[in-house]
Amino acid sequence: MKKTTKLLHLIGLGMFLGGILPSIVMNSVVGASTDAVLIYHQRLFVSAITWALTIPGMWILIVTGSLTALAGKYRLVEHRWLIAKLALAAFILINGTFILAPLVSQVTSIAEHSALQGQLLPTYMPLKAKEDMYGIVNFIMLIIAFILAIYKPSFRRAQGVQAKQRA
């Protein structure tokens, strides 16, 4: 069971990052273009990646990571970094599932209407900026969660003082 969970965790990580990075690249490829058809095609790609890779990968990654943490050697009460990481995971899940993913669909819908009308609708850019902001917030929380998982900081001030006293 432990190895299967670990395998699923790695698959989830690959899907999650494999969804985020191409979306970032697609945004930079399209850049500041106002070509409604080009933007619509880019949005179709971003929406497909979001719903096929990013959202399922995020859920797999966070569920398996939480299961591993809760069943593992770390006790939540003793490891504040793990509490912080799980809290971040919950925020990432909420932001990604209930805020960001619906925004992706809304922005794609506006891009579709724009392409049909032959020009970018005025509601597109403000909503796209909002989507970008929530996406950046999720990405930053993900990076912080990775840092917590790798370095496992204790969050204890007294520990540094005790180390100096021992030396």
Give per-residue pLDDT as tens, 98-120: 999 999 999 999 999 999 999 99
Contact in structure between 6 and 69 (CB atoms under 8 Å): no
Global pTM reads 0.84
Res. 163: pLDDT tops 70: no
Region 46-72 average pLDDT? 92
Domain count, the chain: 1
Give pLDDT, residue 167: 54
CA distance 117 to 120: 8
Res. 157: pLDDT tops 70: no
- Domain span at residue 109 reads 2-166
